[in-house]
Structures are given as C-alpha cells and as structure tokens.
Amino acid sequence: IYDCYRLNNGVMNPCLGFGTYRASDGDDCEVVKTAIEAGYRYFDTASFYGNERQIGRALAESGIAREEYFLTSKAWRTEMGYGNIRKAFMESLERLQTDYLDLYLIHWPLPEDGFTQWRRLDTESWRALEELYHEGKARAIGVSNFLPYHIENLLENCDVEPAVNQIEFHPGYTQEVTVRYCQEHEILVQAWSPMGRSKVLKEPAILEMAGRYGVTAAQICLRYALQRGIVPLPKSSSMDRMKQNQDIFGFALSEEDMYILGTMPQTGWSGQHPEKFGR
C-alpha cells in the first residue's frame, strides 16, 4: 500500500512499518490485530521481543496472504555464531508461522571484549545469514545498531552485502556518520523509536512546526525520517495513533525545517556508545 525502497538485492522494502517492541503482554496479540486492522502490512519484530508467537497468530488469523505483508525478525546477542543463528532463525520461523522472512537482521554488534573475537563471531554469524539468504529462507539480510566500523568488518569478509541497518533515529538523535556511511554503501537505514520514545514529541520546536503544518509532532518526526530516505518503524497501542502515524504522505517539510530537525541537541539512548569511525 505504500511506496517501497528497492534494497541492494532488488527486494522491495515498504517505506513505513509497524514496530512491535513491547507490543504485547502474555498471550495477548490485540495490538498487532489492531495494527493489521489499521492497515499496517509490515511488522518489525525480534526473538528478543518475545512476541513472535503472538504476531504469528495474529497474522495467521487475519487470513492475509503471506506475500501481502513484509516481516522482519532479528537474531539476539545470545544467538550469535554460525550454529546458533541457524537454530534461532528456524525457531523464529516456527513462532511466526511462516516459511520465510522478508528480512532477517543481526540485532546488535557484539560487545568489544576481545577485539578479534567480535570480528570473527560477527563474520561467522553473517555467514549463517548468507546461507539463509541463498536458501531463500530470508529474502534480504542485514544488521541493526551497527556503527560504520562494524559494517566495514562485514564488507571486508562477506559474500552478500548487508541490505539494511536498523538504528535508533529521530530528531535529537540522527547518527549522521552512520546514516551517511550506510547511504553511501547502498544500505537502507531503518529507524527504531522514530519519535524518540515519545520524549521528542514535547520539544517546543517540533510542536511549533506541527502547528504550522497542521499535523502532530509524531507526524513531523515520521515525515522527517521519510524525507531522509529512512524507514520509520513507529509503535503505538491505539488505533487512532496507528492511523495517524501512517498519514504522513500529504505534506512535505521545507529544507529549513529539515535542517532544524537534524540539528537539535543529540540525546538519544544509543548515544551511550559514541559513534566511532575506523579503529
């Protein structure tokens, strides 16, 4: 239903998706059912979120054909390494009630205790993703929360280049070095917490802009990602806000406002690890 980006392997990635972190408690998949009803056809999850089974059930019960929706999952830190990744992937498939994923990501780069260790393990994990890709089980593969030097390590050693890097991105945390690096290497950037976990929605500058465009602060943030060529993955638990968050195609931010949004004080959560380039 939306425009798509063409990934570096030709797969079409819709330009807006639904984030599902903390989207469900226990057996409840109401949020995902509501999101499906609100029109979302692109769901971003991860084994770590603990909600794949609920999402799988909601999608199965919706009766929507598999090729009608785009599904991403991710391998968690404890699932790294060749054998572990393959096992983790198969378990995700089983929980999601599907026989392929549209996109499979390494959730986080490994911690840097032991310099050569993380390089070797990241590369080894990546080899498992490449196999899943070649087998057609994952239509595209990529990474999440990777800084340029993590990606560099993969590019030096890989056969299939990552198609995506999913990072924290919102006004107030725009990770310019990483975004530029990815965009120069044909790696599509996706934004988790595109509204800065709703913190950013109280920024006076954003509220002022929202007033001028006749939209909400959330729509300003999502439109900002869109105009940067970045895929926003907003989360919400309410039907109204789910709909509002998809309604970002009827206005355009001026160059000046894009500049203001890109130069706000940087206070993101991933900022705990400073951006580094090379080592």
Annotated binding residues for substrate: 107
Which of these, 247, 265, 230, lies nearest to 5 by C-alpha position? 230
Distance CA 77, CA 121 (A): 11
Q: Is 49 a catalytic residue?
A: yes
List the x/- string, 199-218, binding to ligand A2P by CB under 6 A: --x--------------x-x
Give least dist CB 240 to ligand A2P, A.
8
Residue 120: count of CB within 10 angstroms of its CB: 15
Query: Out of 49, 69, 104, 181, which one is annotated catalytic?
Result: 49
Tell me the site size for ligand A2P, rule CB under 6 A.
Answer: 18
Which parts are annotated binding residues? 107
267 sits near ligand A2P (criterion: CB under 6 A): no
Which of these, 264, 202, 190, 195, lies nearest to 229 by C-alpha position? 190
Among 53, 87, 120, 197, binds ligand A2P (CB under 6 A): 197
Segment near ligand A2P (CB under 6 A); pick from 2-10, 104-112, 228-236, 271-279: 228-236
245 sits near ligand A2P (criterion: CB under 6 A): yes
Give least dist CB 12 to ligand A2P, A.
23
Order of strands across the sheet that contains 188-192:
18-19, 42-44, 70-75, 103-106, 141-144, 164-168, 188-192, 231-232
235 sits near ligand A2P (criterion: CB under 6 A): yes
Rounded to 5°, the CA angle 194-179-171 comes to: 35
Rg (CA), the chain: 18
Chain positions contacting ligand A2P, by CB under 6 A? 19, 193-198, 201, 216, 218, 234-238, 241, 244-245
